Amino acid sequence: MFSFLLNKLAGTTVPTEIIEGVTEAEKAAELSFRTDNITEALLWFITGMVGIFMVIGIIILVVSLLNKLGSEKKKKD
């Protein structure tokens, strides 16, 4: 019954290996924890965070500049 509903939702036929259990690719791929790429991952993480903070800082500067330019009151003579 589950395979029938899944096939109807997907609009195509889903292989029975996916529905019934583990596929061959999942059997072949064993997950192992390795620490040799942690320094590279941390470098990517730090680079991304610096980029995010730079963009937020630029947005804050632009908004504050627009507020200063737009809030100038007209002087009455």
pLDDT at 34: 74
Q: What's the chain's length in residues?
A: 77
Residue carrying structure tokens 């941390």 = 42
Query: Residue 14 CB: number of other CB atoms within 10 A?
Result: 13
Mark the ranges of the chain whose per-residue pLDDT is less than 70. 1-32, 74-77
CA atoms within 13 A on the CB side of 52: 6
Query: Residue 38 CB: number of other CB atoms within 10 A?
Result: 9
Question: For the chain, first and last CA: distance in Å?
Answer: 82
